[in-house]
A and B are shown apart, each in its own frame.
Chain A
């Protein structure tokens, strides 16, 4: 899967690394800002634990 994506990236190695890092950063940002808070809402349980 990742190998396939890597082979589809254009350009020399440094360009591929750059693109990969940027994509990973974007994915992380999406997770932290939207996905994780949404999941947190879903799994909150009724029992209060501190």
Chain B
């Protein structure tokens, strides 16, 4: 102990010029140095991983989800004219049927979030939908579907895995949200935003926040985490159904540029 103390002292009072000549490290010093370097390296690696997940992979997933949505649109564009189903009277929106968990059934487009913003929507809200590079937005299977009165509830990530609803707080009254299915386009108009706790499942009711009440209109509810990088709360964005565009009528003007054939 005393010897170690003396050695340290003598090192401290060495002249700067002399201290260029290095005394060989003791084994204990080398061990400490290596442990320290390993710890710092681990910290850097963990920080890199978090950065990769929240930024890099987020962008990669976002781009690939967007491409997947574009391919879905393209597929529907090229399909033969669908048989006019019984429910497809000119002004009555088609009611979606036959949803399968984990399968894409539509796309969502929100001009406020970017001219080219679009993502695929799949049935179910498990990791098999939300955490994949080809889906990303999930439909709560117990809620209603496009074309029905009631509440269509979608969920997506706020950050990471493509973060489809990253900027969902930017919607303003009057903004349009479009859903596309093989039958055509459903236009919804932004109404309001609500912040709730994750336990407040009443947002999923046919009339949001009023369980047991019979719905008389169709609401599209977008749900994701709040605040950023936290799961403490949920941000809930309500949009009201305003117009139906059957495929034969062509896409609404606001998103027509997204429906053009790829160059």
Contacts and interface: CB of A to CB of B under 8 A. Distances in A.
A48 B126 contact: yes
Contact of B33 (A1, A28, A44): A1
Interface residues of A, number: 15
Contacts of A48: 125-127, 130
Secondary structure class of chain A's binding surface, majority of residues: helix
A32 B58 CA distance: 13
Nearest to A32: B52
Interface string A27-42: 0100110001101100
A50 B130 contact: yes
Contacts of B37: 1-2
Interface in B1-52: 33-34, 37-38, 45, 48-49, 52
Nearest to B129: A48
12 contacts: A1-B37, A1-B38, A31-B52, A36-B49, A39-B49, A40-B53, A40-B57, A44-B127, A49-B225, A50-B155, A50-B157, A50-B231
Interface of A: 1-3, 28, 31-32, 36-37, 39-40, 44, 46, 48-50
